[in-house]
């Protein structure tokens, strides 16, 4: 009977018999990697199917640090310039653990979920915006009903932090769904403008300066009042491309780095206001860089337009 | 004579004699920790001063992954539910390296730079730049000797990936110290311009367009040639404020999110070029937002200038 149990839920003491098939995803910033493979010599039903291993370096504990910074750790000097040294260290095994998650057997859905897509920075000229992006937005008929439900108080009315229902300058501010509202250290709110004809920063001109300044001032002030975070501690920005084409502003705490606040996607509202003050048609005439992902229909259309193969093959 | 050399630039084979004083900063998301301490038994002049060690787990290479996922790695099962397993692994020492950066001896400025602090977004007008920041840069007399060592081939000459020594448009491209050069997924190089009179983007005008375009094109092309990463897969940007006031450009892989690529600090080179093409004096006249940290002398001077308390108390 023990034998039966071990077939259902095998006990792993090492990775003996594991065959690496391919790397599904790498996240260097969090020191983790996702590997697809299989266990050879596994006689269970699962033997033909894939397994996924997620390897992840652990963070240092204070106890480990004290153990590592001793004569037990061998150093290999990579370089030295003035007071700066770089080493590769080899700490004792017990002070340098790796976390592993195994999914065994793994389904096709698991594999899809844990795979990465390549991304590319695209320079969108004014002409490409008109010829490709604008058509794509119109053809895609993005469903904005959920946004209108918020603006009409049909949904999420109890979550509203601040609202100004002026038809030209108004907006509704509420916590973003990505925020668990448990701590201001990862504060994330979204301001949705009342006007329905502004798709993205591409549409903004000096006509919208009162709207933008109103959101910048009243949005940040209501966050200061409710959550105690000064305006100078808030990151206030827009995305290009946005994930939906109804103008909205992100308010996050400077203390943390949410996805989408990188320079290739985020535009500080303060800077957008200044650029429009400099030139009303700044966002109609300037090229804008945006991040496109492998398999993204917009990337395909862009490649077709500039005459590359449609496979995303650069 | 060997003895003399080793006192000037001690050779470290282990961390023998290192005494941990305190943890200056922890970045669990990037598996790194900054420790202040000192070497006991160090008879050099530097013996009384502090040292800083930055420990950082390395990202997995494909070769390491193949070595780790074998019977050489001992597993300790933490939990199992259905197809999901969690383990702590103990891979062989050589397959699990830690990167260490040592600053020895470390100054008060180093300790300040590597400590955790609250941050604030400051809107620097053209006037504030002239009245506060520029004076601060001049008074601080930042030591750029290590930059000149690189430009003069006195240090790190073997690390140069590309160089163009034209006095006006030239630059040297080399791996950033933050990059362990083990995988292109966390690729990070820095292009340092040859000209010594450009402190930051604040100094850039249309006069520098040939320089900026040269770096944008030749820097990215040499990265494509050496590391196989297309220009559209590179994030090419400058910092404002920079960490040192000699113009340099960051080249990182879009695949990962290094510190300092957030919208509040990074400026895409492509966008900088377009803004200068729009208006030569864009970066002299525009306000620029920058991130200032608690305890930063620049923040204090800024507060004094605008008449706030000098404690950084908002």
Confidence of residue B4 (pLDDT cuts 50, 70, 90): very low
Asked if A73's CB is within 8 angstroms of B14's CB, the reply is yes
Residue B100: strand, helix, or coil: strand
Position B73 scores a pLDDT of 96
Longest dimension (CA), chain A: 78
Cβ within 8 Å of A, B 262-291: 262-264, 266-268, 270-271, 274, 278-279, 282, 286-287, 289, 291
Q: Mean pLDDT throughout B77-91?
A: 90
B146 annotated as belonging to a binding site for a ligand: yes
Q: Is A121 on the interface with B (CB under 8 A)?
A: yes
Position A179 scores a pLDDT of 84
Distance CA A153, CA B174 (A): 55
Of B98, B100, B11, B103, nearest in space to B54 by CA: B100
Are B68 and A33 in contact by the 8 Å Cβ rule? The answer is no
Position B67 scores a pLDDT of 97
Higher pLDDT pick, A203 / B303:
A203
Position B309 scores a pLDDT of 44
Average confidence score pLDDT of chain B: 90
Position B205 scores a pLDDT of 98
pTM: 0.77
Higher pLDDT pick, A28 / B249:
B249
Q: Mean pLDDT throughout B150-163?
A: 95
Asked if A270's CB is within 8 angstroms of B123's CB, the reply is yes
In DSSP terms, which residues pair with B80 in a beta bridge? B85
Position A3 scores a pLDDT of 40
Burial of A194 per CB tally in 10 Å (0-12, 13-18, 19+): middle
Residue B43 has pLDDT above 70, yes or no: no
Position A242 scores a pLDDT of 95
Position A184 scores a pLDDT of 84
A136 annotated as belonging to a binding site for a ligand: no
Nearest to B15 among A71, A282, A286 (CB): A71
Residue ranges of the alpha helices (H) in B97-237? 108-113, 126-128, 134-140, 145-151, 209-214, 220-227
Distance CA A232, CA A309 (A): 46
Of B111, B12, B37, nearest in space to A65 by CA: B37
Residue B5 has pLDDT above 70, yes or no: no
Can you tell me the ipTM of this complex?
Answer: 0.77
Which tokens hold the place of A104?
């065994």
Backbone angles phi, psi at B123, to 5 degrees: -90, 110
DSSP class per residue in A16-48: TTEEEEEEEEEEGGGTEEEEEEEETT--SGGGG
Q: Is A14 on the interface with B (CB under 8 A)?
A: yes
Asked if B268's CB is within 8 angstroms of A264's CB, the reply is yes
Determine the distance in angstroms separating the CA of A144 from the nearest CA of chain B, rounded to an integer: 27
Cβ-Cβ contacts under 8 Å, A118 against chain B: 233, 255
pLDDT along chain A (314 residues), means of 10: 45 93 89 94 61 94 95 94 94 95 91 86 96 93 90 93 97 90 86 98 98 98 97 97 96 90 97 98 98 89 76 42
Asked if B90's CB is within 8 angstroms of A98's CB, the reply is yes
Are B308 and B131 in contact by the 8 Å Cβ rule? The answer is no
Active site residue B90: no
Position A212 scores a pLDDT of 98
Q: Mean pLDDT throughout B223-239?
A: 97
Longest dimension (CA), chain B: 66
Position B11 scores a pLDDT of 80
DSSP class per residue in B169-192: T-EEEEE-TT--SS-GGG-EEEEE
Position B27 scores a pLDDT of 82
Domains of chain B: 1-58+97-116 (3.30.200.40), 62-96 (no CATH), 117-306 (3.30.428.10)
Asked if B88's CB is within 8 angstroms of A97's CB, the reply is yes
Residue ranges of the alpha helices (H) in chain A? 2-8, 62-68, 108-113, 126-128, 134-140, 145-151, 209-214, 220-227, 269-278, 282-285, 297-306
Burial of B266 per CB tally in 10 Å (0-12, 13-18, 19+): buried
Q: Is B70 on the interface with A (CB under 8 A)?
A: yes
Q: Is B151 on the interface with A (CB under 8 A)?
A: no
């Amino acid at each position: 009977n023990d034998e039966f149990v071990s077939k259902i839920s095998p006990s792993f003491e090492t990775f003996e018999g594991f065959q690496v098939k391919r790397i599904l995803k790498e996240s260097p910033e969090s020191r983790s990697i996702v590997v697809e493979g299989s266990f050879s010599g596994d006689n269970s039903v699962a033997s033909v199917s894939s397994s996924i291993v997620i390897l992840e370096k652990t963070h240092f504990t204070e106890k480990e640090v004290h153990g590592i910074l001793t004569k037990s750790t061998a150093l290999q000097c990579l370089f030295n310039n003035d007071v700066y040294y770089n080493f590769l260290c080899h700490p004792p095994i017990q002070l340098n653990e790796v976390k592993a998650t195994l999914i065994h057997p793994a389904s096709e859905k698991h594999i899809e979920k844990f795979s990465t897509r390549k991304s590319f920075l695209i320079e969108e000229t004014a002409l490409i915006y008109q010829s490709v992006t604008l058509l794509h937005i119109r053809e895609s008929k993005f469903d904005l009903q959920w946004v209108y439900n918020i603006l009409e108080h049909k949904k999420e009315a109890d979550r509203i932090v601040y609202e100004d229902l002026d038809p030209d300058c108004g907006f509704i501010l509420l916590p973003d769904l990505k925020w668990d509202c448990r701590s201001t250290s990862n504060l994330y709110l979204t301001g949705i403008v009342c006007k329905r004809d502004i798709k993205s920063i591409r549409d903004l001109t000096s006509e919208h300066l009162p709207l933008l300044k109103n959101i910048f001032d009243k949005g940040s002030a209501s966050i200061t009042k409710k959550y105690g975070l000064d305006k100078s501690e808030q990151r206030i920005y827009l995305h290009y491309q946005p994930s939906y084409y109804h103008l909205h502003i992100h308010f996050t705490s400077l203390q943390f780095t949410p996805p989408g606040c990188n320079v290739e996607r985020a535009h500080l509202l303060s800077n957008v206001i200044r650029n429009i003050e400099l030139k009303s048609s700044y966002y109609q005439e300037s090229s804008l860089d945006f991040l496109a992902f492998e398999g993204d229909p917009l990337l395909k259309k862009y490649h077709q337009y500039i005459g590359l193969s449609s496979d995303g093959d650069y």
